[in-house]
Each structure stands twice: as C-alpha cells, then as structure tokens.
Copies of this chain bind each other. A is one copy, B any other.
Amino acid sequence: MKDIKHFLRQNSLRPTKQRVIIANYLFDGVNKHVTAETLSNKLLKMKAGISLATIYNTLHDFYEKGLLKKLMINSERVYFDTNTEHHHHFYSKKDQKLIDINVDMKVSGLPKPPKNKKINKIEVLVHLDN
C-alpha cells in the first residue's frame, strides 16, 4: 500500500483510492494481460466499486506513464500487459489467452526496412492451434 502510493507518485500519478487498488492488483509481481473487461470483472469480484470509466482512464494513465504495454492481439478489444520488457507471446485464439515468451528469440532473414524507415521493434506472435 505504502509502496504503491510511492510508486504512483514516482510516476506522477496521484495515488487515489481507485488507482491504488488497481495498481496493487496489476503490479503484484505476477505479470498479467488484462482488458478493461477482465480487469473490471476482477475488481467486481474484489468488491471494489470502480466505474468502467475509471478503469479505462486508469489503464490509459498507466500506459501513458509506461507502466503498461499495449498489445495488438485482436481487433475486438485492447490488451494491456504488465510486462513492459520487450518480449513475445503465445496466443491461443480458442482460449483467448496470451502467454509470455520470456526467452530471447532471434529473427533472421529480415529484409531492409523501406527507405527512410528505421526498425523500432520486432514482435513475434506464436499462434497456438488448440
């Protein structure tokens, strides 16, 4: 709690009740992939009465401060990842679940980027069958 408030302040975020609850959940040491919906469900179970608007605001605020990564997994909703290190994912469409790939992978055979463009990062998504 104390440290979460610190943590929020360090990131220029006012440690409001709602942000503290959400940050405590998201940054508990276990990496997570959440959407506004899954986070809302989790918070409902915790009986934290936090409005959807605040959930969206907070995810966005945390993202702006670099505390969350935005993932482009599907076109139906936005996924946020508490693991902000560069890493890759397994994705099971069937389970609608993402799994971190934390080992180093190398991509070889990459062509030159188009004129005047620079490669920012390489993202590998490994689709699972079942």
Distance from A102 Cβ to chain B, minimum over Cβ atoms (Å): 8
Contact with B along A117-130 (1 / 0, CB 8 A): 11111111111111
Residue pair B117, A130 in contact (C-beta under 8 Å): yes
**What number of copies of this chain does the assembly contain?**
2
Contact of A78 among B75, B92, B106, B117 (CB under 8 A): B75
| Interface residue total, chain A, C-beta cutoff 8 A | 39
Q: A117: which of B79, B90, B108, B116 is its contact (CB, 8 Å)?
A: B90
CB within 8 Å for A117 and B105 given contacts A72-B75, A123-B124, A127-B123: no
CB neighbours (8 Å) of A90 from chain B are 113-114, 117
User: How far apart sit A92 and B118, CA to CA, in the bound complex (Å)?
Assistant: 10
